[in-house]
Amino acid sequence: MIRNCLSLLLIFCSALFVPGCSTGQQLVGITVTPTNVVFGSPDPSLFVQLTATGSYIHPPATKVITNQVTWASDTPQVAQVFKTGVVSPSPSEDCGVAGVTASLVTNSPNGNVMTGTATVTVDGTATGCPTATP
């Protein structure tokens, strides 16, 4: 009888100290939508809302993380992106192609940076800019 009680106690204690699926999800990818944005002119009053979606494992899930990521443009003189994921042509009115990234530092593994990307083209042929090539 005592042996059975000790066995049950051991099983119960193991369940308390062994991590389960609820110990946190691991981010394995970021997808930015839309993946391609084309503005017909370098008018900074135009804009598109980008959305960042995170793919997680343990347990699997997909979540909108637009307000958690850090947004950046690799060519801000062509396209600017705001911290909310809104992208628009730059006020400098340059035409061309810019890459926009959404990045997030993860905690599993610690310090890993996950990124998702989109391409933004500002084509101002109507305003005299040369046609941008993606």
pLDDT tens string, the chain, 134 residues long: the values are: 565 544 544 454 444 444 444 457 889 999 999 999 999 999 999 999 999 999 999 889 999 999 999 999 999 999 999 999 999 999 887 899 999 999 999 876 677 899 999 999 999 765 556 544 55
- Domain membership flag for residue 16: no
* 76 Cα distance to chain centroid: 18
Q: How far apart are CA 1 and CA 7, in angstroms?
A: 10
Q: How far apart are CA 42 and CA 111, in angstroms?
A: 37
- Domain membership flag for residue 85: yes
> At a CB cut-off of 8 Å and minimum separation 6, what does 62 contact?
53, 54, 55, 56
- Domain membership flag for residue 134: no
Question: Is cis: bond before 59, omega within 30 of 0?
Answer: yes
- Domain membership flag for residue 12: no
CATH classification of the domain holding 73: 2.60.40.10
Specify the number of domains making up the chain: 1
Locate tokens 């946190």: which residue?
Answer: 24
- The residue segments making up the domain with residue 28 are 22-127
- Domain membership flag for residue 60: yes
- Domain membership flag for residue 4: no
